[in-house]
Structure 1
Amino acid sequence: MTAILEAKNLRAAYGDRPVIFGIDLVVPQGGIVALLGANGAGKTTTLRALLAQTRTWGEITYQGQRINGASTQDLVRMGMVMVPEGRGTFVDFTVEENLRLGAYSRRDGDGIRKDLERVYHYFPVLARRRNQRAGSMSGGEQQMLAIGRALMARPKLLLLDEPSLGLAPLIVQEIFQILTTINREEGVSMLLVEQDAVRALKVASYAYLLETGRVAMEGPAAQLAGSEDVRRAYLGY
């Protein structure tokens, strides 16, 4: 299968402190790949490195084009969009104002209006609250808003950082159902950082397990879910 994103010998650092040590990673076109590991394993740093948000070395290829040296803004325009941990919503803005900020670099008014309706289709609660201040919404609703805002940029690849963090199980289930629907209906590829390894391995086709900035294990998600070592170390049973 064709890769939308490929990293070879990816290394990253904060200042003089190395964090990622030579990761090889592939996200297939239209696929969902999970990036798992304990706190401090380097999952978020990997996403930041791919999106040019930290010092990075190695080769990164997106849609067949080497993107080393591209800015974060350039990558977003090319279709690489992150949904950050903590959601990053603008709490004093309304739902619709937040969504429109996701399309800040676009000038196609008709397309933006159509994409607003598309987001409201996936997240009906946002349609009902389009004029509500984002800061007054629940954590789950704000996570939906963060994903919706990312969709307004018309992503080809979504980088999702801990979308289940701090949310009730039923809300997490709803969000993951919507993500898999977006992947299936629109072909949006996804790289999913997630501490809920059980749920991530159910929706992903392939997974990488990070330990202290290195890939400790990788393989088809179903195969890793069935591994006794993985179950004991990451799945808790």
Structure 2
Amino acid sequence: MSDLILKVESLRAFYGQTQALYDVSLEVEREGITALLGANGAGKTTTLRAICGLVRTEGTIRYDGADISRLGTANIVRRGVAHVPDGRGTFAELTVEENLKLGAYTVTDRAAGARELDRVMTYFPVLRERYRQQAGTLSGGEQQMLAIGRALMLRPKLMVLDEPSFGLAPLIVAEIFRIMRRINEEERVSILLVEQNARLALDLADRAYLLETGSLVISGAAEELKQDEGVQRAYLGY
């Protein structure tokens, strides 16, 4: 079995006739954490959307050994790729319970679904406290936990997360990143993380890539990128 859960080669992405990504190649190790860094508009979100089949692409996307470039989003999800989009994407009018159960739509066994709910709420006990509450009334941090919890209900092999720290207080961000580490280690879920807070992302990740205007400019071990003078000046505030 390959040590890679995801291998993207020469990926190009388009919105209509406008090209947003230019020959992006990246890898995510099985059970590893990879960070994708860059300024606003660099193409980070587009990269995640391309992997999940949400934009028109050219190039190759291999997940768990299979080419998923033309599968379509629903089939990609069924294979075990869970996407936590920017803005959290919770269904505000539904309860916490209903949001979580939507995440398990591929699970047909009710007993298995109940076990998945219990498992998810061991990571996010606040969701148990808010179980019957409308998602739209949760705090920003609780909504982000709900979005990650709903993705976890799929029993994914790979989670792709878009800016999980956005708009949250530092203490909440620290808690969410701690939980993400637990999920990676205990559930053996591989993670591809888009994050503007480069310091946080590099502390969490094993490997990182830096995007600028739709192209990769730097890649390497996260510890190595921390020492890169250009990364330090542009993203770490040194």
TM-score, length-scaled by structure 1? 0.99
Q: What's 2:20 paired with? A: 19
1:105 is paired with a residue whose SS is: coil
Q: % of aligned pairs identical? A: 57
RMSD: 0.7
Give 1:109 shift: 1.1
1:30 is paired with a residue whose SS is: coil
Deviation per residue, 1:20-61 (Å, 9 max, x gap): 000110000000000000000000000000111001000111
1:223 is paired with a residue whose SS is: helix
Give 1:111 shift: 1.1
More displaced 10-residue stretch of structure 1: 102-111 or 40-49:
102-111
Superposed, 1:10-49 pairs within 5 Å as 10-49=11-50
Q: What's 1:204 paired with? A: 205
Deviation per residue, 1:137-159 (Å, 9 max, x gap): 10000000000000111110000
2:235 is paired with a residue whose SS is: helix
Q: What's 1:169 paired with? A: 170
Superposed, 1:1-237 pairs within 5 Å as 2-237=3-238
Aligned length: 237
What one-letter code is carried by the residue in structure 1 that aligns with 2:127? L
What runs of 5+ residues in structure 2 fail to find an aligned partner?
none
Write the distance in 2 (CA, Å) between the matches of 1:71 and 1:190. Answer: 20
What runs of 5+ residues in structure 1 fail to find an aligned partner?
none
What one-letter code is carried by the residue in structure 2 that aligns with 1:17? T
Give 1:179 shift: 0.3
Write the distance in 1 (CA, Å) between the matches of 2:22 and 2:227. Answer: 27
More displaced 10-residue stretch of structure 1: 221-230 or 158-167:
221-230
Write the distance in 1 (CA, Å) between the matches of 2:138 and 2:67. Answer: 40
What one-letter code is carried by the residue in structure 1 that aligns with 2:102? L
Write the distance in 1 (CA, Å) between the matches of 2:78 and 2:130. Answer: 28
1:113 is paired with a residue whose SS is: helix
Off by >3 Å, runs of 4+ in structure 1: none
TM-score, length-scaled by structure 2? 0.98
